[in-house]
Amino acid sequence: MLFQDETLNHLLSGNVKILQKKKGYRFSIDSILLAHFVRVKEEQKVVDLGTGSGVIPIILATKVKSTEIWGVEIQEELAEMATRNIEMNHLQGRVHILKGDARNLADRMDSEGFDIVLTNPPYRKFRSGRLNLQREKAIARHEITGSLADMSKIAFRLLRPKASFYLVYPAGRIVDLITCIMESRLEPKRLRLVHPNVRKGAQLILVEAIKGGGPGVEIHPPLFIHDLNGQYSEEMQSIYSSIAQTNQSPG
C-alpha cells in the first residue's frame, strides 16, 4: 500500500522496490556504497543498526539466499515502512525488522550471535549545526538516539570473535571514527575513501573492523562517484550492475 506522503522507488534495474517518505527520511547513496562494501556469505547472521526503510538488508538479501538479516529501527513509522518494503520484495522469513532502540538490545538479541554488524550511523553531534525540523531526518543525521560510540559498543557485544563491523562515515571525522572503534576493541582492517570525483577531496569513508583482529590495515584505492562530466563513474555503474545481476526474487 502506497500512502499519499510516500513515493515508490525502483532500484537495481527495477528489481528492488522501496517505499520512502516524500518529506521525511530518504536513504542516500551511502546505503548503496555500504551494502556493496559488505562481504556477506551464505549462512551468516547479519544485523543493520538504524535500518531506516530497510534498504540495506533488502540489498544484502539479494546477494545471498540463506543469510538471516535483521534491521533494528527506533522510529515506529520507519520500522513499519521497512516491514512493508520487505513484504513488497517477497523477503519475509529472510529479513526481519525489530522496532526498538539499538542501545537496549541486551535482552532481545544474543551476545556474540552475529557474523556481521553494520550501520550508517548519525554523524552530527546533537548540538552541532542546524537541527532538521523533520524529526525522521534529524534522528538519522544527529546523534539524538545513538552515537558512533554507542553503535561501536553494541557491535562489539553482538559480534562473534573475529566477526566484522561495517560502517560508512564522513571522511572529515576519520580520527573520531578510528579512535572510537578501537576503544570498543574493534580493529580496523579495511578502509576506502569515497570522493565526489577525481578533483575533489574525500567525503566519506567505508570501514570494516574485526572483533579481536590483529594489527595491520588494508587501504583500498579511492572510489569516485562521478566522472568530470557529472555522470556516474564506470565503477559506480559497475556497483549498481553487480548488485542488480545478483537480484532474483525468491520463488
pLDDT of residue 230: 97
pLDDT of residue 245: 54
pLDDT of residue 179: 95
Mean pLDDT of 159-168: 98
Task: Look at residue 6 and tell me whether its pLDDT is greater than 70.
Answer: yes
Grid coordinates representing 246 are 545478483
Question: For the segment 173-223, what is each residue's pLDDT rounded down to a tens digit?
Answer: 999 999 999 999 999 999 999 999 999 999 999 999 999 999 899 999 999
User: What is residue 120's three-state secondary structure?
Assistant: coil
Task: Look at residue 137 and tell me whether its pLDDT is greater than 50.
Answer: no
Q: Cα–Cα distances in Å, from 42 out to 67, 82, 118, 192?
A: 6, 23, 17, 24
pLDDT of residue 79: 95
Predicted confidence band of residue 130 (pLDDT cuts 50, 70, 90): low
Mean pLDDT of 81-92: 95
pLDDT of residue 135: 52
Task: Look at residue 163 and tell me whether its pLDDT is greater than 50.
Answer: yes
Superfamily of domain 6-246: Vaccinia Virus protein VP39 (3.40.50.150)
One-letter amino acid for residue 233 of the chain: S
Burial of 191: CB neighbours in 10 Å, binned 0-12, 13-18, 19+: middle
Looking at the DSSP bridge assignments, the partners of residue 170 are 204
Q: β-strand 218-219 against 204-211: which pairing, if any? A: unpaired
Task: Look at residue 81 and tell me whether its pLDDT is greater than 90.
Answer: yes
